[in-house]
Each structure stands twice: as C-alpha cells, then as structure tokens.
Copies of this chain bind each other. A is one copy, B any other.
Amino acid sequence: MAHRKVSIVVWAGLAVLVMVGSIFADAIGLPDLRWIVIAASLIVLAYAAQLIFKMNKLDPGTELMQQLAGYIRDGAQTFLRREYKVLIIFTLVLGTLLALVIEPRPWVAVGYVVGTAVSALASWIGMSVAVRANVRTASAARHGWGGAMMTAFGGGSIMAFSVVGLGLLTLTLMTMVFDQPYVWLGFVFGSTSVALFLRVGGGIFTKSADVGADLVGKVEAGIPEDDARNPATIADNVGDNVGDIAGMGSDLYESYVSALVAAMVLGQVVYGAIGAFVPLLLGAIGLLSSLLGNLFVRPPSTEDAPFETQVRQVHQSMNRGVYVSNILLVIGAYLLLNHFLPQADALALFGCVVAGLATGFIIGPITEYYTSEHKPVMEIANAANSGPAILIMEGMAIAKMSTVLPIIVIAIATVVAFAFAGLLGIAVASVGMMANLGMLLSMDGYGPITDNAAGIAEMAHMEPEVRERCELLDAVGNSTAALAKGFAIASAALAALAWLATYFVAADIVDVNIEDPQVVAGLFVGAMMVYLFSALTMRGVSKGAFATVEEVRRQFREIKGLLEGTATPDYVRCVDIATVHALHSMLVPGILTIVIPLVVGVLLTSEAVAGLLMGALLVGLPLAIYMANAGGAWDNAKKHIEAGHHGGKGSDAHKASVIGDTIGDPLKDTVGPSLDILIKLVGKMAVMFAPLFGAINIVSNWLP
C-alpha cells in the first residue's frame, strides 16, 4: 500500500509538472512547443508500461483457467491476424491511390500508412492486455473485490493510455516532419480504415458468435450460457474483446485524432502556426488530466459490506476519476487558451471546449435513463406480460423517444459552438469532448474484461461467491459501457460535423444550398447509404449466426462425448468461421462507403458531396441512437425480469424478453455502432478526395 502511494505521488507530480509546462510551454524556451506534447505522451506511455509490468506479475489462476483464457487469447489473435491481413491489402490499394492522385505526393499516402499502422498497433496492444487481464481478474476475484476491480480497471487503463499516448505521440512527430495539413489528414484516414475493420468487422464477428452460441446452446441443446461444452462459447468471449476492446477502442481513437486534426487544420486557417499547435497542447492536457483522474480510482475500502454498497463504491470510485479529470481539463484548457490566444478568442474557444465536454456527459445520463432500471425499461418489462410482439413494439417506441433529447443536445452544441467561433468552434468542441479519452477508455475497457472474467469463472466452475463477485463487477461494466456508447455516438456526430467543416475548407465551398438540386440529390444519397449500410451489416450478423449454428450443430453431431463433457470442442473452427464471415460481410458495405462519395463527387459537384455528408449524418445519427438504446433497453428489461419480476426466469414474460434481447443485441453492438463509423468515414473520404471533385465533373455540366 505504501508502495502504491509513492507510485501515485510520483505519477501525479510528473503529470502536474508537464501539464503546467503545456500551458506555459513557450515560457520554458523550448525550440519547439511540441516537445512538451511528446513529453506528455511519453509519460502516459510509461504509466501504461508500469501497469503492464504489474499486471504480468499477477496470479493467472488455475491450470484450467489459464487453458480457457489461452483459448480466448488465441481466438482474439486469430481474429486480428486475419483482419490485419485483409487490412494490409486494403491499405496498399487505397495508399497507392492516394500516392497517385493526392498532393503532396506521396506524403499523404505515407501519412495514411503510418496512421493505419499506429492505430493497428494500439488495438493489438489493447487486445493483448485485455485477454491477459480477464483471467487475472477472475483469479483475483477468488481473494476479494478490490483486487479484481483494480485488475480489470488496470487492464482498461493500459489499453486506454497506450491508445491515446501512441496516437498523440505519432501525430505530434508527424506534424514535426511534415508541415502539410493534408499529410495529417492522411494520418487520420489511416485510423478510419482500422476503425472500419475493427468496429464493423468486429461488430459482425461478436454478434455472429453470440447469437449463434445462444441459439444452439441455450435454445437447442439446453445448456447454460458460457458453458465450456458449447463450441461457440470461446468465440463468444473472443467477441467481447473484439467488439468492445478493439472495436470500441479503435472507434473512439478515430474520433480522438479526427477531432484534433480537424481543429489543427481549421485553427491554422484562422490563427496560423499557433492555431495548429494549441489543439496538440490541449491534447497533452487531456492526456495528463486523464492520468490524474485515473490515479483517483481506488478499490472499495470495505471488503465485507453488502454487495449493493460494494457496487456503489466501485461506481463512485470511477465517477470520481471522471470528475477529477474533467475539472482539471476545464481549468487547464482555460489557462492554456488564455495564454496563447487573444482574450476574447480564448473565451469563445473555451466556451466551445465546455460545450463539447458537456454534450458528451449530458448524453450519458439520458442514455442511462432510457436503457437502465428506470421507468422506460420497467414499461418494456411490463409489456413482456402481453408477449414478445407488444414488448418489441414498446421497445421500439421508447427507443425512438430516446433519440429526441440527444439530438436536441447535439443541435444546441452545434449552434452554440458555431456562434462562439464558427466552423473552428465545432472542431474545438469536438476536441473538448474527446480530450479526456484516456479516462473514458479506461472505464470502457473495464467492462469487457470483467465480462470475460465472469465467463471464465463460469466455464472453470469456480466457487459461487467468486462467480457472484465477477458478475457484480460485470454489472458495473454494463453501465460504463452504456455511457461509452452514448459518448461514441455523440463524438461521432461532432466529429462528423467537424469534418464537414474541414471539407468546406478543403473543397473551398462556401454555399451548400438546399435549393440546389445536386445538393438535394447528395442529401438523398447520404440518407440512402445509411439504410444500405445498416441492411448489409444486419444481414452480415444473421448470416454469420447461421454459419455458427451450422458449425456448432456439426460438432455436437460429430464429436463423440461433447455434450457429456468428456471431449473438448473445436473452439478454433468456430472463431475461424465467424471471422471469415465478418470479413466477407464487412467488405461490401465498407467499399460502398468509400466508393459512393467518390462517385457522387466525380459525377456531381463538390456541394453535392457536402449534401451527402449532411444526409448521412442526419439520417444516421437518430438511427444509431435508436438502435443502441433499443438494444440496451431490451437487454435490461430481460435482466429486470431475470431478477425475479413478472414471473422471473422461465416465465412467458421472460421468454418474450429473451426474444427482445436477441433482436436488440446486434442492433446495439453491430448495426448501431457501425453507423458511427459510416457517418465519420464519409467525411474523411470527402476531405481526402476533395481535390479531385473540382477537377472532374461529369453530370453537373448539363444540370442547372
């Protein structure tokens, strides 16, 4: 404990020191202000390294636990290896295209490849840590709450700080080597490619495995969830890492560098060189305030308190971390902006930072209200008494209602940010929202790690109290995951708006008039893409689930002694099948998202492409919120019933709620989150290829 206190003091001291350095960077007399950003990045990377070191020394549990965790680890690596093989081809093709057509040649392509590599590496690290932290969390749960919670949170923190540290470090180095904004944009585009593969591909994988495992395991064979006899159960656990660690991580990381680079590009237009530096310094402050907040997360003090108290303490502890990091960010941002910019501008941009930060944290409780144990979920659970149809209708109605406030909040944030500082204001609001990603991602990574730990505890037949501890830690994880989901959607919306603003500058357009029929056509194409994309990802899940079901049935049929528990199932094949299906199902929507904006840009005007971006955002945003919340609400309505209401487990109401949950699962974990990627990706495509749109223009010549 004394050791822990010393460690906290050292890290906190370092962080505060460099944070002050960031704010008054020019007073230090550095030859380049960016060295301070590099210092901040290195500090959080070192913090992550220390956590890895500590993690590796922890007890990985019994042989059976290690064996099961090994399966999950191998599965996760198999998935990533296969995804990355295709990603490399994809990167080479797109990189070559960029190298051939986008100036400065070939440096944009270089930026793109570096961006892809860094994001891919960060995701790899995140996954590698998570698949080690899960079993150690389960193992620690044998001795009590505190250790288990801190192990899981530590795993999340490693993932978080590796991701943001690596991102900010490379981006800063990039700006030192290349003074051309288009190269930085290329760097972001790399992270977008990775997010497409991991979020969409990962989303399809995870739900193919999950739905497939449930359909055969629970429904046909009648064995419980996370039973080691089910050949798809390892794939299901791999899916949690793939979807919630690699997928969510790469998605939020993408929003993070997106926000920074959009603010840098627009800042440079307004303020010259310093305008590009300030967002980086803001990023450094965010990194360090996240680190400081992170240090405030502590294990529950009383190991013997009733479990509600314990859970509340775990929750409170994380919330404390979030508050601390937010307060530090706000103070730091105020001082930084005041130091570098004229006072009026500094105040305006500070307003944008606060607006962005507030948006992210207002949408969280709204999401929580509609998807956790409150009136709406109670109403859905109540509707379960009238059967699955009414339950689903009720869920649809409530989830639709749940989109209203978030959209209003985002609209207000947009108008306010714009009123403060024009297009730059929107980008800065986006930075404000994302700057504390280190803290947010630590909490978010905690969720799937505890989920996996609970799975391992179940599969390894551990003592009931250990399983209970893991499951309660997992319950906290579910609510942090809901927060992250709301955050991911809001950040996607602001990032999309920021890149729309960047596109206006890149394409040099000032008037996108909805009285222009080409803009109207663009708006409709954008709307259409959202439905096309979600239809394809949805079918990807159902096809993947079918394939998983077939494979599990085959194993039950062909492997003797499987159901009796005397033979080991072929876990690897299930992972393989879901991976291949995910890749196949992801490619068509991915390529369409890339090709359609290009085609519109080439056939119609640059303004039509702006219409497309707006159309995709406008249609995609409510649909994404709707799906995420419908899934969350059905999930929790089921859990509410399972907790003994309306007849509890096995009742007709419960059966109805299981149907709702099964439908909601891919909505919230695949189709909804994939739309985040869509609305961000089209913006990047537009900016990257904006130079082309002016040059070639086919249809618009004969149109008014």
Which residues of A does B touch, CB under 8 Å?
211, 215, 219, 383, 386-390, 392-394, 396-398, 400-401, 403-404, 407-408, 410-412, 414-415, 418-419, 422-423, 497, 504, 510-515, 517-521, 523-525, 527-528, 530-532, 534-536, 538-539, 541-542, 545-546, 549, 610-611, 614-615, 618-619, 621-622, 626, 659, 662-663, 666, 702-704
Contact = CB atoms under 8 A, between A and B. Distances in A.
A397 B524 contact: no
Contact of A532 (B396, B401, B704): B401
A522 to B, nearest CB: 9
A525 B386 CA distance: 34
Given A415-B703, A514-B614, A523-B618, A659 B397 contact: no
B390 A535 contact: no
Contact of A618 (B411, B513, B536, B619): B619
Listed residue (A411, A412, A536, A549) with the most chain B CB atoms within 10 angstroms of its CB:
A411
B419 A704 contact: yes
A517 B397 contact: no
The residue among A394, A407, A702 with the most chain B CB atoms within 10 A of its own CB is: A407
Nearest to A703: B419
Nearest to A393: B542
B535 A393 contact: no
A411 B525 contact: yes
Nearest to A702: B419
Nearest to A396: B538
A618 B527 contact: yes
Contact of A622 (B390, B412, B527, B610): B527
Contact of A515 (B510, B531, B539, B704): B510
A527 B619 contact: yes
Nearest to A408: B528
Nearest to A615: B618
A525 B527 CA distance: 16
A378 to B, nearest CB: 15
A520 B415 contact: yes
A549 B385 CA distance: 13
Given A393-B666, A514-B611, A531-B401, A411 B521 contact: yes
B407 A524 contact: yes
A547 to B, nearest CB: 12
A615 B541 CA distance: 30
Nearest to A665: B389
Nearest to A613: B514
B528 A404 contact: yes
A476 B510 CA distance: 53
Contacts of A390: 215, 542, 545, 662
B614 A541 contact: no
A371 to B, nearest CB: 15
Nearest to A539: B397
Contacts of A519: 514
Give the top 8 A-B pairs by smallest Cβ distance, nearest first.
A400-B535, A389-B662, A418-B517, A411-B524, A397-B538, A401-B535, A407-B528, A512-B514
Given A393-B538, A393-B666, 16 more contacts: A383-B542, A388-B388, A393-B541, A397-B535, A397-B539, A400-B531, A401-B531, A403-B531, A407-B528, A411-B524, A411-B528, A419-B517, A514-B519, A514-B614, A523-B614, A619-B619
B515 A414 contact: no
Given A388-B388, A527-B619, A414 B659 contact: no
Contact of A513 (B407, B513, B535): B513
A528 B493 CA distance: 14
Nearest to A534: B400
Contacts of A410: 524
A393 B670 CA distance: 12
A515 B521 contact: no
Given A525-B411, A528-B404, A535-B398, A659 B622 contact: no
B510 A393 contact: no
Contacts of A619: 527, 618-619, 622
A626 B396 contact: no
B618 A524 contact: yes
Interface centre among A422, A514, A662 (most CB of B within 10 A): A514
B515 A504 contact: yes
A513 B513 CA distance: 4
A414 B396 CA distance: 32
A388 B389 CA distance: 9
A414 B618 contact: no
Contact of A542 (B394, B419, B514, B549): B394
A432 to B, nearest CB: 17
23 contacts: A387-B659, A392-B659, A400-B538, A401-B531, A401-B539, A404-B532, A407-B528, A408-B528, A418-B517, A418-B704, A419-B702, A419-B704, A422-B704, A423-B515, A510-B515, A513-B513, A514-B514, A514-B610, A514-B611, A527-B619, A527-B622, A531-B622, A659-B659
Contacts of A611: 514
A368 B317 CA distance: 57
Nearest to A522: B411
Given A414-B517, A514-B610, A397 B531 contact: no
A389 B659 contact: yes
Contacts of A404: 528, 531-532, 535
Given A419-B517, A512-B513, A219 B411 contact: no
Contacts of A618: 523-524, 527, 615, 618-619
A545 B388 CA distance: 14
User: Which residue of A390, A519, A536 has the most chain B CB atoms within 10 A of its CB atom?
Assistant: A390
B407 A527 contact: yes
A525 B535 CA distance: 25
Contacts of A219: 387
A525 B512 CA distance: 19
Nearest to A410: B524
